[in-house]
Amino acid sequence: MVRVDLDRIRRNVEDVRQRIGRSELHAVVKADAYGLGARRIARALRDLVDGFVVFYASEAADAGLPALGKPILSLGPTDPEAGLVHGVRPTVWTVEQAAALRGARPVLSVDTGMQRFGCPPEQVEAALAAGGCAEAFTHATRVEAARELVKLLGGRGLRLGRLPLVDRRLGRCIDNGQLQLNRAVHRHVRAGIHVQVHDRRHFADRRSLRQCRHAHAGCLRL
């Protein structure tokens, strides 16, 4: 049995909101909010976050996100028509994508080392120009990648962000005023999961059980 504690999720997100100061907070609710139920998670967080992130534009429609009146960004390949209908802005990472989706106000994903749906640094200028992009972000797990993004694009009036929230040292980047951060909160959303396992034999071995307990520290009830 799995019980999702929405109050606990809200408290976790409130804690993130407190920590990030003036930076923006966008909740990643792709893949049905990582299996928690995107529709109810989004409604529970609507007053705490500045926007939502999905992978496909269709996910936004399925979760009823347009009705919440918050900005929506899709990370994956986007159907331009679906994006326009549902008000979902696309992510682009090639010059060709940027040019094709210019009318949809695309956001540029920049590769700072993870090579995950990211535009190579040497093509960033061309992609920004082709898409008329005013925003950019990077996928990263270390603060150094965020600094690399600032190094590439800081001081140009662009809105810059980083996915996902992993390294709290990123707060240091906020202080210099160059990085307006869109922090993904999926790790903290997951912290609202309560899993009750009635039969430990459902796990292949005890090591898997320990790993699961560690992954949801403080949330796994056995």
Where along the chain do its domains lie? 2-190, 192-222
Residues 6+ apart with CB under 8 A from 12: 185, 188, 189, 191, 192
pLDDT of amino acid 205:
39
Q: Higher-confidence residue: 125 or 190? A: 125
Q: Are 73 and 92 in contact (CB under 8 A)?
A: no
Q: Is 75 helix (H, G, I), strand (E, B) or coil?
A: coil
Highest mean predicted confidence (pLDDT) among 80-89, 145-154, 156-165, 188-197: 145-154
Q: What is the mean pLDDT of residues 33-43?
A: 94
pLDDT band of residue 164 (cuts 50, 70, 90) is: low
Comparing 133 with 209, the larger pLDDT belongs to 133
Q: What percent of the chain has pLDDT over 70?
A: 73
Architecture of domain 2-190 in this structure = Alpha-Beta Barrel (3.20)
Neighbours of 177 (CB within 10 A): 10
Distance of alpha carbon 116 from alpha carbon 162, whole angstroms: 13
For residues 134 and 105, the answer to whether their CB atoms sit within 8 Å is yes
> Which residues lie across from 139 on neighbouring strands?
163
Whole-Å CA distances, 111 to 124, 152, 162, 182: 9, 11, 11, 16
CA 121 to chain centre: 21
The pLDDT, as a whole number, for residue 165 is 46
Contact status, residue 79 vs residue 67, Cβ threshold 8 Å = no
Average pLDDT value over all residues in the chain: 76
Higher pLDDT, 38 or 87: 38
